[in-house]
Amino acid sequence: MKKIALEEHYISPDFMKYTQADFNAMNKQASDGFIAKLLDFDEQRIQEMDKAGIGTSVLSLTDPGVQKEPDTNVAIQLAQKANDFLAEKISKNSKRYKGFAHLPLQDPKAAAKELERCVRQHHFVGALINGQTNGKYLDENEYLLLWEKVQELDVTIYLHPGSPYETPYNLDGYPELEGPLWGWTSETATHALRLIFSGLFDRFPNIKLILGHMGESLPYLAWRLDSRWGIIKHSKNLKKLPSQYLKQNIFVTTSGMCSNGPLLCALSELGEDNVMFSVDYPYESSEVAAQFIQKAPITEKVREKICYQNAKRILKL
């Protein structure tokens, strides 16, 4: 079955310095392999897409990009450079590639402007954001103008994992828990919950937020969010139950989560229109991801929605 994949990463030489720490944490064979695949837009990437039946990949700069840059002006310039670089690569193969913008979130106004430029000039489908930026989360007031722009342009934001600003005390002594195994899940789920509980989706009811990794554990927690929210003394006012924002504003992908239990949970809690196929290339195997969704115990109608129909509708491809 043909597929659209939307958590698929690249890098350009300018950004190696920001990702170096992540590569250093891997063995050399793994990091060399990832770097070669991240830099490639031609043979290997297309070959792997073909083998997995992926017709279109929505590409994004790998974590963290300029979101770790301390100098705001450098971040603004380099984000533009990344987006122009990606647009040029897409233009050479626009049938197979689409793009998510990379934003200089150190300056919310510049980020909104860059998003608009990328959508209008480069026809990108939204932006992929790698978690917090120098300690700032997207629910903070200064980002309201970015969300206004997101709603006006009617594009999606993919909230991708990134590291927390500081290593949490409770992970001390367990480096294996800091990254993709657990730390990023907890950090990204918390970021999404901050957006829900800040009332962002009451203000901007049409915003579509995408989470990878089958929703970073949130579909599993939907009932409990409602039940415990009701008893907290200082809860902020919300127009709906927390789980209703999960169902209406949040969409999830299967990136890096090739397991039937979480898939069935996401379908049951969020609905069959809210789940989309993705790989997390090159960090996960396109072949494993494709086989997983092809064999998953769901109807062919639901499989089609997950593989491409939902992404086509949500990203307006």
280 is catalytic: yes
Query: 302 vs 66, 68, 288, 308, CA distance in Å?
Result: 37, 39, 19, 10
DSSP state, 124? -
In whole angstroms, the minimum distance from the beta carbon of 128 to Mn ion comes to 9
Alpha carbon distance 317, 314 (integer Å):
8
Please tell me which residue in 63, 107, 139, 280 is annotated as part of the active site.
280
Looking at beta carbons only, is 7 or 69 nearer to Mn ion? 7
Closest approach of Mn ion to the CB of residue 317, in Å: 20
Min dist. Cβ of residue 103 to Mn ion (A): 16
Q: How far is the CB of 7 from Mn ion (least distance, A)?
A: 5
Residue range at the interface with Mn ion (CB under 5 A); choices 30-38, 98-106, 275-283, 289-297: 275-283
Nearer to Mn ion, 148 or 287 (CB): 287
Identify the residue among 187, 216, 280, 284 touching Mn ion (CB under 5 A): 280
284 near Mn ion, judged by CB under 5 A: no
Site string for Mn ion, 229-268 (x = CB under 5 A): ----------------------------------------
| Complex with Mn ion: residue 198 or 255, whichever CB lies closer | 255
Query: Could you tell me the smallest distance in angstroms from the CB atom of residue 243 to Mn ion?
Result: 25
111-170 positions binding Mn ion, by CB under 5 A: none
Task: Give min distance, CB of 228 to Mn ion, in A.
Answer: 30
C-alpha span between 29 and 45 (Å, rounded): 18
Q: Residue 72: what residue type?
A: T
| Nearer of residues 107 and 216 to Mn ion, judged by Cβ | 216
Q: Which is nearer to Mn ion, 115 or 211 (CB)?
A: 211
The smaller minimum CB distance to Mn ion, of residues 7 and 107, is found at 7
Q: Which residues are catalytic?
A: 280
Q: Which residues bind Mn ion (CB under 5 A)?
A: 7, 280
